Structure 1
Amino acid sequence: MQSAVLGLALLHGGETFSWSEWKVYPSFMAGWLLLGGAYFLAIGPLRHRFAGASPVSARKVASFTAGLLMMFASLQGPLHELSDYFLFSAHMVQHLVLILMMPPFLLYGTPDWMLRPLVRRRWGYLAARAITFPLIAFALNNIIFLAWHFPGPYDLMMRNHNVHITMHLMIMVTGTIMWWPVMSPLPELPRVAPVLQMVYLFLVGIPMMVSAALITFSQSELYSWYVEAPRLISSLSALEDQRLGGVIMWVPGGLTLWLAITAVYFRWTNRERIEDEAVTLSQPRVNRAGLVVPPVTGVR
């Protein structure tokens, strides 16, 4: 078995690794270019074909572009080689980006009018409403994530490229669905209330943290693929690499969700402050001279 793993490693770059070595994977590049091309065509020359399509702000375009670049950096180039053929810890970095970091940028950068055709028909709306319902979105993401990190399915997808592609597609899609109750760009499928967003994000992290703890404190190697893989860092054993991967899932993964919770909190309190100020300005008030000052008009 070790010779088979070594053979795959040699086929995809050998026992050595170089940060400057970039390989092109046609299956990924085709999907990535299709996604990016469709977006930029939709916001550019084809925008007039969408009903109510307003211009997309530079901030949204930058956000979607950042999401595309995260996808590219995760699934093409050095991180891909490290995660697929050498280090479990690198694979956890890859999954962290694809599930917790990339989807919010893609969702924020997508204008509502681009997605509206998907929910125009009743069956499309009902299906989208069902899978983006917070409980369903939570369950889909965590079930898919946890299922693929059991040793059996994990080693299967590491040994079968088509299964590996399927896994990446599944975690990216369910990761995006998971973020929907917090980052929805479509009023027809609205975000939940800010307080519920914070509770939801806190709960989302619990299954991942439990899984990370089990991996981190395991007394034996769980994934035979990395046991048999070439040791890129001689001082880092397969068990130590596995524990490092668990810590990456646990700490940076948890911090990412807490940063999102913090962002939701400040966005919520800022909106509340603006609304309170608007109400105050819309009411008549008495100045120091005892004169009634009429409300400020035109306050939104």
Structure 2
Amino acid sequence: MELFEHPSVPLGVAALIALYLGASRAMRRRPTRRQVMWFAAAMAAILYTHTELDELADARIFTMHMLQHLMQTFVIPPLLLLGTPGWMLRPIVLARPLKPIFALLTQPVIAFLLFSAVFVTAHFPVIFERMCRDESFHIVLHLVFMAAGVLMWWPILSPIPEMPRLSYPAQILYLFLLMIPMTAVAAPITLASTVIYPWYTEGAHGWGLAPMDDQVLGGLLMWIGQGSYLMIVFTLIFFRWSRLDDRDIPAVSLSARSEFRVVASQTRPARSILH
């Protein structure tokens, strides 16, 4: 593993850890042991995704490039939200100049649409080709993936009661609807009759697979793998929801109710399925 081939990766992880520890020291509060565990897992996932997986993606293995994108959007963001205490984010998210922006971007419909737009657009051939050939553009797009992923997961795992999570039934619907943009990307890739991205035909393939076979495998990973992942998550949400009485159904904002047409009693904030 070439950790220091791209020094921005270990330096970025070190900066995040320093900010995490510095905020805890400055605010004289400690994250729970579970939060520290989630945060450490997020840092390990960032390192793995942008070193080991990045090398495989650079070796023209399309399947590993798709796995990298799924890690950046479906694994790293929820780990970051689970590992960061609300009291650590509150001074930033609720600061007067920033609160209206965060309040808008974390609205379920807005977060959903932003993430969908980013993920679908990034896999247009012209954008994807530039990403493969321009390292600076590649780095920026990966950062955008993770930022869009954090916004997308916020309605499910918000650590701040002032910007609450969706109710359990709305969380299930939200995750189910996420399959639409993912399928919009994965289906054309999997079912294409030719190689969509020319970059994968211009050099030796890391695994020796034919570019077309690799493209089908990568599309299936995104289509079936991501779908299975979301199915597991909203099955866990449904299991938790089914164990609660009506009075325990988490709160949902009026805007979320109107947008997702979910009726839920308002008694206490939602808890994460992983808490």
The interval holding the TM-score normalised by the smaller chain is 0.7 to 0.9
Q: Is the 8 A contact 2:4 2:10 kept in 1?
A: no
In the other structure, the counterpart of 2:241 is 268
Q: Distance in 1 between matches of 2:220 and 2:35?
A: 32
Match of 1:247 among 194, 198, 220: 220
Which ranges in structure 2 are unaligned for 5 or more consecutive residues?
250-275
1:103-118 equivalence runs, <5 A: 103-118=77-92
In the other structure, the counterpart of 2:43 is 68
Distance 1:22 1:108, change over 3 A: closer
SS in structure 2 at match of 1:230: coil
- The answer as to 2:237 corresponding to 1:256 is no
What is the CA RMSD across the aligned residues, in angstroms? 1.8
Distance 1:209 1:187, change over 3 A: same
- Provide Cα deviations, 1:51-76, integer angstroms capped at 9, x if missing partner: xx4x3211111011111111110001
Match of 1:141 among 96, 102, 115: 115
- The answer as to 2:14 corresponding to 1:33 is yes
Q: Which runs of 4+ in 1 moved over 6 A?
A: none
- Provide Cα deviations, 1:237-282, integer angstroms capped at 9, x if missing partner: 1011111110010111111111110121122223338959xxxxxx
- Provide Cα deviations, 1:153-175, integer angstroms capped at 9, x if missing partner: 10101111110011000000001
Aligned-pair identity (%)? 37
SS in structure 2 at match of 1:101: helix
Corresponding letter in the other structure for 1:67:
A
Distance 1:272 1:229, change over 3 A: farther
**What is the aligned length?**
249
In the other structure, the counterpart of 2:100 is 126
Match of 1:93 among 53, 67, 71: 67
Q: What is the Cα deviation at residue 37 of structure 1?
A: 1.8
In the other structure, the counterpart of 1:284 is none
Match of 1:188 among 156, 159, 162: 162
Distance 1:229 1:23, change over 3 A: farther
Q: Distance in 1 between matches of 2:216 and 2:4?
A: 28
Distance 1:157 1:273, change over 3 A: same
In the other structure, the counterpart of 2:132 is 158
SS in structure 2 at match of 1:46: helix
In the other structure, the counterpart of 1:13 is none
Question: How does the TM-score come out when normalised to structure 2?
Answer: 0.86
Q: Distance in 1 between matches of 2:57 and 2:63?
A: 7
Q: Distance in 1 between matches of 2:126 and 2:204?
A: 20
Q: Distance in 2 between matches of 1:130 and 1:41?
A: 28
Q: Distance in 2 between matches of 1:98 and 1:59?
A: 21
Corresponding letter in the other structure for 1:100:
F
- The answer as to 2:211 corresponding to 1:201 is no
- The answer as to 2:64 corresponding to 1:84 is no
Q: Is the 8 A contact 2:125 2:197 kept in 1?
A: yes
Corresponding letter in the other structure for 1:35:
L
Distance 1:127 1:274, change over 3 A: closer
- Provide Cα deviations, 1:9-66, integer angstroms capped at 9, x if missing partner: xxxxxxxxxxx555531122222211122112323x3232xxxx4x321111101111
Which ranges in structure 1 are unaligned for 5 or more consecutive residues?
1-19, 277-300
Q: Is the 8 A contact 2:3 2:10 kept in 1?
A: no
Match of 2:33 among 44, 54, 58: 58
